[in-house]
Amino acid sequence: MTDVKAKTADYGLGPYTFPRGWFVIAEASQLSEGPMALNYFDKEFALYRGESGRVVLLDAYCKHMGTHLTKSVSAHVVATNQNIVGDSILCPYHAWQYGPDGQLESIPYEPGLCPKSANIKSYPVREIMGLILMWHDPEGGEPDFDPPFLPAWEKENAVHWQLDHLGSIPIHQLEILDNMTDVRHLGPTHGSPCEYFENEYRDHVVIQRQGGTLATYNAHLDTVTWYTGPGILLSKQTYNDITIFELIVNTPIKDGYTQAWHGVLSFANNIPPSTKDLVAAKQAQEAALAAFSTDFEVWKHKIPAIKVLQTKRDGQFKTQRKWVSQFYMSANDAKKIQEEVNGVHHIEDFPQPTSAARDAGFEDDCFATA
Ligand code: FES
Ligand SMILES: [Fe+2]
């Protein structure tokens, strides 16, 4: 692993170190183990599920004396499961009670006293497709777009993903997002040389449509892949009459470091899925992970590409990076970037998708929300 790191400012992305958008912060099933302590965007957070089922994300530290709300698990009030009250949480040290909106609700030994200065920040959270998502906005604004959702998730024969937790890599999220336009790596890295390609930018969504022959499967593979904001990739992949959806999500931990998860949504032949169907689903996720891991390995060992030495027939990294930059500035300034890059972009001298490939599941999937 190289120790040459690059940060947001090195890439000249925008005034903010961390981007605006929806980001995965945990797998929903992890919350059945109790409250979690999380670290993203160079900040500490407390995540828990209230008694109503509501998921709550707060700044981690109590305003009384700075105790981490979810890290001190041996404290009596936590060890005896008394720290979640309704949708509120008690601090492990002196049991000051915080509501899901971050407001101090009570001090057990000071009836009627709730100083506003003790309030902490609460963040917008969504639970979708087994994922816990947070809205991160460096300006503290409310969400200005919805997270993605796959309607196919609700099909009767859907076999839902259990995420691969891939840990953190010392690479800036920008270089992971470069993949969206990187037409020339598909053959050398993934063994699936591209036969047609295009990108489309629509405000906070970037779409890639491409296809080619996948050597390892001896099959033609068509993919429609889209990012909704800079953190959540979904990809509809069709080969040999099989359709799967791949999920790749990345969340900044600190400047220049990114955490990643991976999953595959596939479909069983039987309802309920047979053991054979479940094995096939697991294999589909493993195969997709093996393909993605080739990128991951490159990212782990490369030095930063602060500027890409972009050739004429390369992917359009400059446009792609401009699209990414919108998330590192105010939502207002982002509009100008969107106006600049919105539209369909092609690679010089490279075949474009047929209209059938262009339409395949496009509006249905790329812009669906829960
Ligand atoms: S430090 Fe949190 S209640 Fe005292
Ligand atoms: Fe790739």
Residue 170 shares a structural domain with residue 308? yes
The atom of ligand 1 lying closest to the CA of 94 is: 3
Residue 335 shares a structural domain with residue 255? yes
Q: In whole angstroms, what is the distance from residue 257 CA to residue 341 CA? A: 27
| CATH of residue 71 | 2.102.10.10
Determine phi and psi for 133, rounding to 5 degrees. Answer: -115, 145
Q: How far is the CA of 230 from the centre of ligand 2 (A)?
A: 16
Q: Is 317 helix (H, G, I), strand (E, B) or coil?
A: helix
On whether residue 144 sits in a domain, the answer given is: no
On whether residue 3 sits in a domain, the answer given is: no
Q: Which of 58, 61, 65 to mutate to test the pocket of ligand 1 (most atoms within 8 A of CB)?
A: 65
| CATH of residue 231 | 3.90.380.10
Nearest partner of 237 among 257, 261, 267, judged by Cα: 267
Ligand nearest to the CA of 109: 1
Q: How far is the CA of 70 from the centre of ligand 1 (A)?
A: 12
| Long-range contacts from 108-117, C-beta under 8 angstroms, 24+ separation | 117/63
User: Which residue, 111, 136, 161, sits at the end of a domain?
Assistant: 136
Amino acid identity, position 298: V
Residue 81 shares a structural domain with residue 172? no
Q: How many domains does the chain have?
A: 2
Residue 245 shares a structural domain with residue 333? yes
The atom of ligand 1 lying closest to the CA of 95 is: 3
Residue 265 shares a structural domain with residue 196? yes
Q: Is 192 helix (H, G, I), strand (E, B) or coil?
A: coil
On whether residue 81 sits in a domain, the answer given is: yes
Q: What is the pTM of this model?
A: 0.96
User: Which residue, 104, 136, 168, sits at the end of a domain?
Assistant: 136
Q: Is 230 helix (H, G, I), strand (E, B) or coil?
A: coil
Ligand 1 neighbours (beta carbon < 6 A): 62, 64-65, 67, 91, 93-94, 96
User: Which residue, 103, 136, 169, sits at the end of a domain?
Assistant: 136
Listing DSSP states for 258-284 in one string gives EEEEEEEEEE-SSSSPPHHHHHHHHHH
* Residuewise pLDDT in 10s, the chain (370 residues): 445 579 999 999 999 999 999 999 999 999 999 999 999 999 999 999 999 999 999 999 999 999 999 999 999 999 999 999 999 999 999 999 999 999 999 999 999 999 999 999 999 999 999 999 999 999 999 999 999 999 999 999 999 999 999 999 999 999 999 999 999 999 999 988 999 999 999 999 999 999 998 877 788 899 999 999 999 999 999 988 899 999 999 999 999 999 999 999 999 999 999 999 999 999 999 999 999 999 999 999 999 999 999 999 999 999 999 999 999 999 999 999 999 999 999 999 999 998 877 776 555 677 778 7
Structural domain including 310 reads 151-366
